Amino acid sequence: MSETSTPTTVDDATTPIVSPSTVKKSKYRKRGQVAKWLSIVWLVLLVFTAVGASWLPYVKHSCDQFESKADCRTHIDPNPLLSERPPAWATFSETSRPIVRDAPARVGLMGTDTNGFDIFSRAMFGARNSLLIGAMSIVFGILIGGTLGLIAGYVGRKTDRVIDTIMNIFLSFPALLLAIFIVGFFGSSGADEAKSRSIGPIILALVILSIPPIARLVRANTMVFAQREFVLAARSLGAKNGRIIVREILPNVMPAMVTFAITGMAILIVAEGALAYLGLSVSAPTPTWGSMIFSGQRKLETAWWISIMPAIVLFLTVLAINLLGDVLSEKFRIKEAIG
Amino acid sequence: MKLQAESRRESGVLLEVDDLHTYFSTPIGLVKSVDHVSFTLDRGRRLGIVGESGCGKTVLSRSIMGLLPRRNVVRGGSVLYEGRELTTMPLKERRKIWGAEMAMIFQDPMTSLNPVIRIGKQLIEPLQIHLGHDRQTASDTALQLLTDVGIPEPEKRMRQYAHELSGGMRQRVMIAMALTCGPSVLFADEPTTALDVTVQAQILDLIERQRRDRNMSVVLVTHDLGVVAGHTDEIIVMYAGQIVERALTPVLFSSMKMPYTEALFRSIPKLSDPSHTRLVTIGGRPPNLIAPPEGCRFSPRCPYATDVCTTTPPELVEATPGHWYACHHPVGSERWQEVNVRMNTGHSVEAS
């Protein structure tokens, strides 16, 4: 009667739970591992070069081509000597290249664009902006959308109905149209810098695009967890609503939110590209991947690399982010299944 | 401080429930889950609430604590805890009572622990908030609590998540959580239903030991007469939201009056039964609580029911001091004997 802890319970708890994933390491699983590590390596390299773009030797190389050594991002004078040179590894015959004396036939890793900028270094400077736009948008999207979703899901009733209706209104617009509208509306408000659009309106547009889906996801998850008994248990121990939302429900909603956010970031990077392609992203000298692709669209037949090279970088990045999102969701799912 | 501790040791009425009712308004009508229930609970006593699924046991314990959501609930009656009225108490005040004075253990330990927070943190937080412990004291207390509830290697468990523990372990952790702030009343809402039979007894013994050590009162809600038999002082039998019988445990088992209690008792399989004996069940199902049967609510399922039963609801009457029941034809009455004789002969005819 007094000694109630029998071996059965002890054994039960100390035996480690073997998840099915560790038992069966199939070929598929290994391939998934390779893809995961490739994605991580790609993203780490990308972030590293994006952050250090101004200092890394090859990346800043494009600036060295100019006598003034002024910030190459603001330099828009065409350099005819280097303009539209194909990448160094391109060995096909070049018939349509304008013949410029003393001009190198092939330049750099990715060639040069119409202004004579090295596309690789611009793509790395562009990574800075594209990743920053994607990350900032999703962070704000999560902060606002997540909060709205938690409140709507937990409080319910009228609050839920109001928030849900607003989200539905936003969701009923075609996403790109909404983004164009927001950028057009807020981007041109500053009279003195009407021509040079900054990063702000783009982020604002993307944040507004990302809020409704995040809010809905979080709301649905919150509703599920708010019904669980541990919430009632916390309440029966005297926890306040704010505490229950933040300490009990939020950690449970987090996995779904993070997974969604990572995939969402990929979508937002593409969305920025779409905006840029329509000429609605950050103004000319500041590169983003989208605006780089846009700048080469009329030369696809003669100088394909101007569009294709940044497109490949964009593609690989989005792919890597998506794969990473898959890995994360897999990880969370296993844990959820045992719990 | 000392005085307070001594006063806690005292016996006396701790909880007084008077005419409590809880109705849920739904689109199809008012569900009378708890219908005019009254009882008192003394300090340090163990009360069992027994009944089928859906007869209002859980709602009763939750409405005593005031844990039910406010929307769509019609409530009435009073709950006095140490002379303080709980039903009209503002939420802010009630929160101070929750956990510190009254605590609850839930049926399913799988869902009542947060899956993504470490066990230790779940135990430490209420200590820090309610009792104002600093991290170290709270952590030490939590460790002690886990040891008290019979969890081996408590340091290791503190760092683990709920899914790493077995069902019995989780229920122990739940009990530890409920005990963190030293409540005077512990509501155990079917604490063993989700557990293996072997673990059930351990958990019940654990609750019993903690009750004795802390001079708590325990309200044990269950559908299992076997569980309440050895672990309560007094039993309330509920049917369709109402109390139908109430007596001290030994009295109830030796001289039950209400046919519903009798039916519940009969449906426990006995070791002495020959093998392949058909399990005795109570025919039909608990009544619709939106429109309960007129008269005695058990009458549609009661083998002894007569015309009186379907028209006049029986009042709670006292058989012996402290033994209350609500029935027109209690066990032992003429009608009861008549029916039982008929049933027995009927059986033998069928058998031959």
Domain assignment present for B203? no
- Does the pLDDT of residue A2 top 80, yes or no? no
Min distance A14 CA to chain B CA atoms (Å): 8
A251 in B contact zone (CB under 8 Å): yes
- Does the pLDDT of residue A202 top 60, yes or no? yes
pLDDT in the model for residue B52? 84
Domain assignment present for B294? yes
Name which of B97, B103, B152 is nearest A10 (Cβ-Cβ): B152
- How much of chain B exceeds pLDDT 90, in percent? 1
Residue numbers in A near B102 (CB within 8 A)? 236
B19 in A contact zone (CB under 8 Å): no
Name which of B98, B107, B112 is nearest A238 (Cβ-Cβ): B98
Distance CA B216, CA B210 (A): 8
- Mean pLDDT (chain B) is 82
Max mean pLDDT among A96-110, B55-69, B269-283 falls in B55-69
- Does the pLDDT of residue A76 top 50, yes or no? no
Min distance B253 CA to chain A CA atoms (Å): 23
Domain assignment present for B14? no
Q: What is the pLDDT confidence band of residue B210, given thresholds at 50, 70 and 90?
A: confident
Is A154 within 8 Å of A180 (Cβ atoms)? no
Residue numbers in B near A339 (CB within 8 A)? 115-116, 161-163
- How much of chain A exceeds pLDDT 90, in percent? 8
Residue numbers in A near B166 (CB within 8 A)? 9, 12-13
pLDDT in the model for residue B332? 80
pLDDT in the model for residue A5? 41
Distance CA B102, CA B178 (A): 9
Q: Which residue has the higher pLDDT, B75 or A142?
A: A142
pLDDT digits (tens, 9 = 90+) for B290-325: 888 888 888 888 888 888 888 888 888 888 888 888
- Count structural domains, chain B: 1
- Does the pLDDT of residue A266 top 80, yes or no? yes
Domain assignment present for B341? yes
Cross-chain residue pair A237–B178, CB shorter than 8 Å: yes
Chain B, nearest residue to A338 by Cα: B163
The predicted model gives A73-84 an average pLDDT of 56
- Mean pLDDT (chain A) is 75
Which residues form the domain of B297? 257-351
Contacts of A283 (CB under 8 A, 6+ apart): A195, A196, A197, A198
Min distance A334 CA to chain B CA atoms (Å): 11
Is A294 within 8 Å of A276 (Cβ atoms)? yes
Domain assignment present for B340? yes
A237 in B contact zone (CB under 8 Å): yes
Cross-chain residue pair B112–A230, CB shorter than 8 Å: yes
Q: Which domains does chain A have, with CATH numbers?
A: 106-338 (1.10.3720.10)
The predicted model gives A83-107 an average pLDDT of 62
- Does the pLDDT of residue A326 top 60, yes or no? yes
pLDDT in the model for residue B84? 84
pLDDT in the model for residue A276? 81
- Does the pLDDT of residue B143 top 60, yes or no? yes
Helices of type H across chain A: 7-14, 20-23, 27-51, 61-64, 119-141, 147-155, 157-172, 175-187, 199-226, 229-236, 241-243, 250-277, 289-295, 305-338
The predicted model gives A37-50 an average pLDDT of 87
The predicted model gives B138-155 an average pLDDT of 86
pLDDT in the model for residue A284? 60
The predicted model gives B266-274 an average pLDDT of 80
Chain A, nearest residue to B178 by Cα: A237
Q: What is the pLDDT confidence band of residue B3, given thresholds at 50, 70 and 90?
A: very low
Helices B167-179 and B135-148, axial angle in degrees (round to 10): 130
Q: What is the pLDDT confidence band of residue A66, given thresholds at 50, 70 and 90?
A: very low
Cross-chain residue pair A229–B106, CB shorter than 8 Å: yes
Helices B167-179 and B197-214, axial angle in degrees (round to 10): 20
Is A332 within 8 Å of A256 (Cβ atoms)? yes
Cross-chain residue pair A6–B180, CB shorter than 8 Å: no
Cross-chain residue pair B177–A233, CB shorter than 8 Å: yes
Q: Which residue has the higher pLDDT, B239 or B273?
A: B239
The predicted model gives A89-116 an average pLDDT of 64
Q: And the tokens for A191?
A: 């009279």
Backbone φ and ψ for B220, nearest 5 degrees, come out as: -100, 110
Residue numbers in B near A13 (CB within 8 A)? 157, 164-166, 169
Q: Give the range among A310-324, B287-301, B336-350 with minimum mean pLDDT.
A: B336-350
Distance CA B348, CA A97 (A): 109
Cross-chain residue pair B169–A238, CB shorter than 8 Å: no
pLDDT in the model for residue B81? 86
> Which of B108, B114, B131 to mutate: most A Cβ within 10 Å?
B114
Residue numbers in A near B97 (CB within 8 A)? 238
A240 in B contact zone (CB under 8 Å): yes
State the complex-level ipTM. Answer: 0.73
Half-sphere exposure in the Cβ direction for B321 (13 Å, CA): 0
pLDDT in the model for residue A283? 64
Cross-chain residue pair B163–A234, CB shorter than 8 Å: no
Q: What is the pLDDT confidence band of residue B352, given thresholds at 50, 70 and 90?
A: very low
B67 in A contact zone (CB under 8 Å): yes
Domain assignment present for B141? no
Domain assignment present for B316? yes
Domain assignment present for B184? no
- How much of chain B exceeds pLDDT 70, in percent? 94
- How much of chain A exceeds pLDDT 70, in percent? 67
Cross-chain residue pair B106–A339, CB shorter than 8 Å: no
* CA-only gyration radius of chain A, Å: 26
The predicted model gives B125-142 an average pLDDT of 83
Q: Give the range among A113-127, A259-273, B54-68, B230-244 with minimum mean pLDDT.
A: A113-127
Residue numbers in B near A248 (CB within 8 A)? 114, 117
pLDDT in the model for residue A184? 78
